[in-house]
């Protein structure tokens, strides 16, 4: 992975080397996938979430607030739509990948828009409107125009104290759940601690957990 928190954002998502296979969303070494107990609804989009931290660094655990992430940490979220929910083998269409980068001055956000060929995602500051079509599990046809936000709109959801940008998902209550990793199922808080990405965390049984909405 290639991240320098003192430099401007790269033009191409692939420049960071977060993925071994970007279109397939296969993470590189050190890029940890995660999920939330109750994710926000986004027009039926699937979401692929990942976290990366510079070697030798970790986030500080908080029982209630967002974890305290080190400078250089990156949170990624890719929005995608399945081609046909009845046939997962057909794959997905990637729309955008959003990055939250922890700089010395605080969090900064940027969006990368995937091209029509699904080979590369390019930095997109002004947002976009992307027509999307898919087939639902019941065979019905679904079509929308997906709104990719511009950079200034990120604060509409990610505003924290004093109107500063912040991370929303990485809280103990959101992450305290099992995740099916490549090497088996494990609790996410325990896995973050095991790989050195989280310090000061209690046993998951002693941590808060939000109920799943469904």
pLDDT tens digit sequence for 87-118: 999 999 999 999 999 999 999 999 999 999 99
Q: How many CB atoms lie within 10 A of CB 167?
A: 19
| Beta bridge partners of residue 169, listed in sequence order | none
Whether pLDDT at 151 is above 80: no
| pLDDT interval class at 155 (50, 70, 90) | very low
| 199 has pLDDT over 80 | yes
Q: Where are the beta strands (DSSP E) in 104-210?
A: 106-114, 121-124, 128-135, 141-148, 178-181, 184-187, 198-199
Separation between Cα atoms, residue 69 and residue 80, nearest integer Å: 26
Pairwise CA distance, residues 48 & 84, whole Å = 18
- Which alpha helices (H) appear in 36-187, and where do they start and end? 154-158, 172-175
Q: Which residues contact 71 (CB under 8 A, 6 or more apart)?
A: 5, 54, 57, 102, 103, 104
Lowest mean pLDDT among 2-16, 28-42, 47-61: 28-42
Backbone angles phi, psi at 172, to 5 degrees: -55, -45
pLDDT at residue 53 is higher than 60: yes
The dihedral formed by the CA atoms of 43, 134, 119 and 124, expressed in degrees to the nearest 10: -30
pLDDT of residue 168: 76
Dihedral over Cα of 186, 188, 190, 195: its sign = positive
Q: How confident is the model at residue 164 (pLDDT cuts 50, 70, 90)?
A: low
The overall pTM is greater than 0.75: yes
């Amino acid at each position: 992975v290639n991240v320098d928190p003192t430099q401007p954002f790269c033009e191409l998502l692939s420049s960071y080397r977060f993925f071994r296979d970007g279109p397939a969303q296969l993470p590189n070494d050190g890029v940890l996938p995660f999920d939330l107990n109750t994710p926000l609804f986004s027009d039926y989009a699937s979401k692929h979430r990942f976290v990366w931290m510079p070697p030798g660094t970790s986030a500080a655990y908080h029982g209630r607030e967002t974890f305290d992430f080190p400078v250089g940490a990156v949170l990624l979220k890719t929005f995608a739509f399945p081609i046909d929910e009845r046939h997962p083998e057909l794959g997905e269409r990637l729309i955008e990948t959003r990055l939250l980068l922890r700089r010395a001055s605080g969090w900064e956000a940027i969006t990368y828009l995937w091209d029509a060929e699904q080979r590369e995602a390019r930095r997109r500051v002004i947002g976009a409107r992307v027509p999307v079509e898919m087939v639902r599990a019941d065979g019905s046809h679904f079509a929308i125009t997906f709104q990719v936000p511009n950079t200034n709109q990120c604060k509409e959801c990610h505003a924290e104290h004093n109107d500063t940008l912040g991370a929303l998902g990485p809280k103990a209550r959101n992450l305290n759940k099992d995740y099916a990793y490549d090497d088996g199922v494990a609790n996410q808080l325990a896995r973050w601690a095991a790989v050195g990405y989280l310090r000061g965390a209690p046993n998951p049984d002693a941590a808060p957990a939000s109920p799943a909405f469904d």
